[in-house]
Amino acid sequence: MEKIFIKFFTALHPTLLSLTGSNLDPDFAYVNTAMTWSDAQMYCRENFSDLATIKNDAENQQVQSLINQLTWIGLYRDPDLHWSDRKSVLFTNMDSINIQIGSKTVICGATSTKTTGTWKGLPCETRLPFVCYGFPGEFV
C-alpha cells in the first residue's frame, strides 16, 4: 500500500510532499519553490533523479494528487516532445490547443490541477513549483 508522507526541511531544502512508489515505480516529490524549468531540472537532478517523467495515467494521477497549482513536469518541446531524462514520450495528457508539435519555439511542460489535469506548454523561464522523481531509497 502506498503511503503519502510530508517532509519538511530546514532553510536548505524547500518543502516537499512525496508519494512513495515501489522498486519498479518512481516516487514523486512536489517541490513548493518557484523556479524556471531549467533551474527545477537542475534541482531535481542534484536531489532526486530528474523532473517528473509520467509514463501512464496512474502516474499522472499520482502527480495530480500532490499538486495544488500549475506545476513543472519534465516535458519539453524542441521541436518535438521529449522528457527531461531523455525517455520517449509514450503517454501524454496535453491540452491539444496549447501545444504545437514541430514549432521552432522551445516550450516546457506543466501540469494543472483543473478537473482534467491536462498538461500545458509554457515559456521555460516561467517560475513555477515542480515535481521531481526518484526511486525508493534515493530520497533524502
Q: What is the pLDDT of residues 76-129, one digit of tens each?
A: 988 788 999 988 899 988 876 555 555 667 889 999 876 677 899 899 999 999
64 three-class SS: helix
Domain ranges of the chain: 4-134
| CATH code of domain 4-134 | 3.10.100.10
pTM metric for this prediction: 0.78
Q: What is the pLDDT of residue 3?
A: 30
pLDDT tens profile 41-76: 999 999 999 999 999 999 999 999 999 999 999 999
